[in-house]
A and B are shown apart, each in its own frame.
Chain A
Amino acid sequence: MSSYLIFAYGGVGLCGIGVFGFILHSHLLRRLIAFNLLGSGTFLILVGLSQSGRGQPDYIPQALVLTGIVVAVAATALALVLIRRWAALTKHATLPEDQGPS
């Protein structure tokens, strides 16, 4: 098995863990971390799998991943601003439906 393909499988693992965490957690910061793991897993699959098909570095998916990383950072930063504002207003880091009867 080429090392490209090994990392594609690693990406699959990251995606699985990410999805599990994303659905399980109600704390918004943890959800955000899960989303980032999911993103990293996707990027690994994109580059690893395409390169294992060709057997050599492929610059197209690499460029796509660079774009993807920047978009992910923008989304993360935006989410953090919303979460912080929400926490400042309500003193909660979870959404109302997840706060339980307290």
Chain B
Amino acid sequence: MNELIDLTLICILLGLATLSLFTQSLFRSVMFFILLGLILSLVWIRLDAPDIALAEAAIGAGITGILLLDALAHLRATSNTPPQLLQLKQPRFWLALLSGTGVILALGLAVSEPLSPVVALDLKVSENLAESGVTHPITAILLNFRSYDTLLEVAVLVLAALVALTLRQSDEHPVANEFLPNQLLHACLKLFFPMIFLVSMYLLWAGSTQPGGAFQAGAVLASAFVLFYLVGLKTQLAQNEHYLKRGWIFGLAIFVLVGAVPLLQGQPFLTYPDAHAGVLILLIELGLTLSIGWILFSLFLLSQSASTFQKKDTP
């Protein structure tokens, strides 16, 4: 029975993947892709990975979806020739077909080999969990055992925002808010924002004992900011480059400082003192949540001005 569910999920997944790549209309492509993200989060639940399911829904389908749809609206003006799938005379088609089949064959063979991992890393996680300061193993891995990875990963996010800043309109005219001045929407949003914020903070807090954590919380926070922007509420904060940048690096700065303090006491980088590990992890996560929310929102905001460059030139 369970296998039947799994196989159905896989079929839907592969079907959606094919559709999202080969539908004629680009809009439908993106829609299928977002749908695929949602199905994927079901798959992650079947794989006993609720944390990833949350992240996939919030970040994979949610944020990526928003960004793709927003980009789509601005790419309308470009020449869009629909893909011609069976260009049998084109070497590119054969190269693609060959590589695709090759990848499936090679990976399929590799996956079909029976496994017996020599190193039991999962046992080490549970052995050392008590000393990590949190009780949820994934948070322990992300913010303690392998916190160095997470540090570099946050730097990757800041970099993405920085590229968006580089490419924004050279003359710094703030983007006008040409959005719906709907009173009802305003009122609703004022009501909703505290609630979304609360959900975000809950996800953050829950992360130390159960699925959740800084990245999921940050994605939820970003969606609140985006909503705010869409109904045209105050965005002066976001127009000011200094506020933008300081918001991005807030989390990274806390992370680096907390990590560097032990160096002065003769400990390796990123060591937490045993007694305070839990508190320090929560502090870092709080900083990361705020910064990640801000970065994801900035990416949305700045990509607007990356594509409005030619507005004043066109008649």
Interface residues of A (CB under 8 A from B): 1, 3-10, 12-25, 27, 29-30, 32-34, 36-37, 40, 43-45, 47-54, 56-60, 62-67, 69-78, 80-85, 87-89, 91-93
Contact = CB atoms under 8 A, between A and B. Distances in A.
B100 A78 contact: no
A43 B47 CA distance: 11
A81 B164 contact: yes
A17 B46 contact: no
**Most B-side CB within 10 Å, residue of A36, A62, A72:** A62
B6 A7 contact: yes
A33 B33 contact: yes
Interface in B37-92: 40, 43-44, 46-49, 51-52, 55-56, 59-60, 63-64, 67-68, 71-72, 74-75, 77-80, 83, 85, 92
A14 B43 CA distance: 13
A59 to B, nearest CB: 4
B52 to A, nearest CB: 5
B138 A63 contact: yes
Q: Chain A contact residues: over half helix, strand or loop, or mixed? A: helix
Interface residues of B, number: 90
Contacts of A32: 68
B43 A10 contact: yes
Interface of B: 2-3, 6-7, 9-10, 13-14, 17-18, 20-22, 26, 29-30, 33, 36, 40, 43-44, 46-49, 51-52, 55-56, 59-60, 63-64, 67-68, 71-72, 74-75, 77-80, 83, 85, 92-93, 95-97, 99-101, 103-104, 107-108, 111, 115-117, 121-122, 125, 137-138, 141-142, 146, 149-150, 153, 156-157, 159-160, 163-164, 167, 213, 215, 296, 299, 302-303, 306-310
A53 B309 contact: no
Contact of A1 (B3, B52, B71, B80): B3
A2 B71 CA distance: 40
A70 B307 contact: no
A29 B43 CA distance: 25
B49 A73 contact: no
Contacts of A24: 83, 85, 92-93, 96
A16 B104 contact: yes
